[in-house]
Amino acid sequence: MTFGIIGNLNKPVIKKVASSLFTYLIDKKIKFFIHEELGKWYMGQDISPKIEESVITPDVVLPEKCDIIIALGGDGTMLSAARLGGSSGVPILGVNLGKLGFLAEVSIEELSQCLDDVISKKYYVEDRMALSASIHGDNQSYFALNDVVIDKGSSSRIIDMEIYVNDEYLVTFTADGIIISTPTGSTAYSLACGGPIITPNSNVIEINPIAPHNLSARPVIIPHDSNVKVVIRESSKPVHITSDGQIEKFYPAPVEFSVKRASHTVRLIKRKERNYYNLLRMKLMWGKDVRISNHG
């Protein structure tokens, strides 16, 4: 088994976690490769264990060299790993160095035990649906595990967005923007905008307006094999599209966006003793009285 490792250098604890992980893998005589950015940074630190320069690998070839990608960070690092893995099908194991984190599977304290289980093949792989967005007249496409967001960008004015599902007119939302989300992304930006929580194995796509002008506007759930078309005919400033909050571009109106299920899934490593409902209860603190504080 060979691991590929990426990490978020902005996390203060990354140095300690990377050192512990590399020590573990070297002691176990397990082969690993390190993403170029993380590897070069690590070699510049005065910490042990020392690593060979030969294990540092550019991102374009990292998925080809490993059986599993370990992502050290938070959900943002997991989303980057999802794009990095692309259509390779390499499973991703997330290690949460942040706070909330719905995608990262293990905490820092659980990492060694989880790796023992992975090496012993005591885990399963969960396939997560992703989205692909394209723009009429532009060759660029956007891949998203969580969501594709189309909004008014820097304009102070709301925009009118005509929504079509499989070329059938659905509605015109007058709003700040729209979120087109996978079930995985339902606990991200869409949740903050009043959208429902959707279990990851649900075969659906969610359409959720952002701050709609009409209070009757509500999220809509459609089948996973639907093609969503968003047409914006007028806007005072260029319209903004982002995928997973990380890749973005501006387009002048009129503009037509098309969003559909991606041709490949993202594969996440999961532990057998955990399930999604446990995760929801823990991350959202369900069942806890939030009125009680240490100051009260």
> How far is Cα 104 from Cα 268, in angstroms, rounded to an integer?
9
Give me the catalytic one of 75, 147, 151, 244.
75
> How far is Cα 152 from Cα 237, in angstroms, rounded to an integer?
7
Is 248:126 a contact under the CB 8 Å cutoff?
no
Where does residue 292 rank: exposed (0-12), middle (13-18), buried (19+ CB within 10 A)? exposed
Write down the residue that tokens 């630190």 correspond to.
45
> How far is Cα 41 from Cα 34, in angstroms, rounded to an integer?
11
Is 92:145 a contact under the CB 8 Å cutoff?
no
Active site residue 59: no
Distances (CA, A) of 286 to 6, 159, 277, 292: 32, 36, 10, 14
Active site residues: 75
